[in-house]
Amino acid sequence: MIRHPALTSLSRWLARIAALVALLVVGYGVAGLVGGAIPSHRDWRPPARGVTVYIESNGIHVGLVVPKVAAGIDWRGWAPGADLAAPRYEGYDHLAIGWGERTFYFDTPHWRDVRPGRVLAAAIGSDATLLHVEHVPAPEPGNDVRRIVLRPEEYRRLAAFIRASAAPQRQRWRGYDRNDAFYAARGHYSAMRTCNAWVGDALRFAGVRVGRWTPFPVTVLQWF
């Protein structure tokens, strides 16, 4: 069978593009694992007593779980029960807080809704970001939930970072369920600054030992 020269050339270009994409994906993965293994605040150790917070993972995304009232920080007015579809969930004593790209959050209420195009669009970059806030009880530590004890001043720095991630003009949308809501955020989402990197940034700002760049859940969880 004789192949047309144009088809042969196109096949070669497609193969090169596929190889380049594979190289970029592998390189990104290796860089993320290396960045997550390099510690910041390497001498930090948890205190014997303090404020307990949690890191919670669903396998792709990690978020922070904080007590509603602790160390002089009160989140109740910041994320009131009136913002929920069912305000009774305000009775829970913790907030689970995550940060991410707005379109991805809105278009993927379930992981079965994830599409390569949506992932690529978010990875390229977006200034449209949200905070996802859920009213929850304190979670049980396990493989997907890590417990961290912070000094009061460390917790206050963590809270300051989270609050600074909210947009100056308050906007709120109902969430996926009856106990959560979305709030307009600020910050640029990209492959370099993912939802997981945001959690790492927050912990680093608080003074906690964590990787210098944490784009993947494992790069956060491995420290706790």
Angle between helices 152-164 and 195-206 (to 10 degrees): 140
C-alpha 4, offset from chain centre: 49
> pLDDT of the chain along its 224 residues, tens only?
555 565 566 666 666 666 666 666 677 778 788 999 999 999 999 999 999 999 999 988 999 999 999 999 999 999 999 999 999 999 999 999 999 999 889 876 655 655 565 566 566 778 999 999 999 999 999 999 999 999 999 999 999 999 999 999 999 999 999 999 999 999 999 999 999 999 999 999 999 999 999 999 999 999 99
Which residue, 127, 135, 107, is CA-closest to 184?
127
Task: Tell me how far the alpha carbon of residue 25 is from its chain's centroid.
Answer: 20
**Residue 36 · residue 46 · CB < 8 Å:** no
pLDDT of residue 31: 79
pTM for this structure? 0.85
- CA torsion angle for 142, 145, 151, 154 (degrees, to 10)? 160
With vertex at residue 165, the alpha carbon angle to CA 68 and CA 103, rounded to the nearest 5 degrees, is 105
Q: Looking at the chain, how many residues does it have?
A: 224
Helices (H), 65-167: 102-107, 116-124, 152-164
d(CA 222, CA 218): 6
Question: Contacts by 83-86 with C-beta closer than 8 Å and gap 24+?
Answer: 83/172, 83/181, 84/135, 84/174, 84/175, 84/178, 84/179, 84/180, 84/181, 85/174, 85/175, 85/177, 85/178, 85/179, 86/178, 86/179
Question: Tell me, what's the pLDDT at 124?
Answer: 75
Amino acid at 147: R
Give the 3-state secondary structure percentages of the chain, helix then strand then coil, rounded to 5: 40, 25, 35
Which of helix, strand or coil describes residue 145? strand
Residue type, 79: A
Q: How many CB atoms lie within 10 A of CB 121?
A: 15
